[in-house]
Structure 1
Amino acid sequence: MNHRLAKLVFNLWPPFLGAGVKVRRISPDWKEVDVQLRLGLTNRNYVGVHFGGSLYSMTDPFYMLMLLKNLGKDYIVWDKAGSIDYLKPGRGVVCARFRIDDDLLQRVRDATAGGDKHLPALHVSVYDAEGAEVARINKTLYIRRKPPRSSRQATS
C-alpha cells in the first residue's frame, strides 16, 4: 500500500475515526509519520482532558508499520511491549511525530543477519499545541529476519 492510500485508510479506520485520531502525513519513504488528536466528546476523560487510551492508541501501529515498509518482506516485525508515561494533562490538539533513519535500519539488519531476534526500544512523545510534552510512549518491537525461502519450503 502506498503512503497516500495508507493515510486515507488510517483516517477512515473505525478505531482512529471514533477516537478522533488523524494521520496528517506519511512520507513517501515511510520514514516519517505525523499524527494528531483533537480533544472531543469521544476521547475526553472524566476530568475533561484527553483520555489516556486515546493518547496511546494514536501512537500504536506506526513504528511497526514504518519498519515493515522499510525492511521489506524478508522481515517479521511485531509490537512486543509498550508503555506510556503521562507528563501533563492533554488539552486541545495534541500531536506525535514518528521518525526512523537509515542508522536504525542498518542496526536492525546487522542484529538480525544471522536469524536472531532483535528487540529495539523506540520512543515517541505527544506534544500539545504550545509544544509542551504531554506524554512519552515507549515501544519495544520484535524483529527477526525470515529464514531463506528454501529453508521455509523444506520445513513445510
Structure 2
Amino acid sequence: MAQAASLVGRAGADGHEAEALSMHALRLAEKEAHAAAVLARARRSPGGASAEARRQACGPAAEVITAAARVLDLAEGVRPDALVATDLAAAAEAARAAATTAGLSIEVHSGAPTPPEVAAVTTRANRLTTAIRDVVVTLS
C-alpha cells in the first residue's frame, strides 16, 4: 500500500496526502506483522489460537482495506494521461491486491465472508484501469 500511495503522489495527487497515506501504510505493515506474530505464538500454545487472537489479527487487515480505498480516492482525482498512466494503473492494481489479500485474511481468521468493501475496491480499481486504458488508446 505504501508503494501505491507513493505512485499516486508521483502521478499528481495531493503530495502531502499521498505521503501521509504512504506512511500510514508502512505503519499498517508493521501492525500486520505484529498481529501475525501474535497469532503464530497463539497457534503454538496449548489449545491453539484463541478466538481473541484471530479477531485481533483481523484488525490490521480491515485497516488495509480502508487504506486501499483511500489510495483509490486519491488516484481517481488525477486526470490520467500518457505520462502518469502506468503509475496510476500500478497504484490501482496494488490497491486491489492489498484489499483482496486483506479480505482473505479476515475470511480465514474470522470465518466470516470477505468484507463487501473488498468488492467495492475491486470495482473501483477496474473502473480506474479501464479509464486509463481508454486514455492511452486515444493517445496512440
After TM superposition, the score normalised by the length of structure 1 is: 0.31
Higher strand proportion (structure 1 or 2): 1
Higher helix proportion (structure 1 or 2): 2
After TM superposition, the score normalised by the length of structure 2 is: 0.34
> Using CA pairs below 8 Å that are at least 6 residues apart, which structure has the higher relative contact order?
2
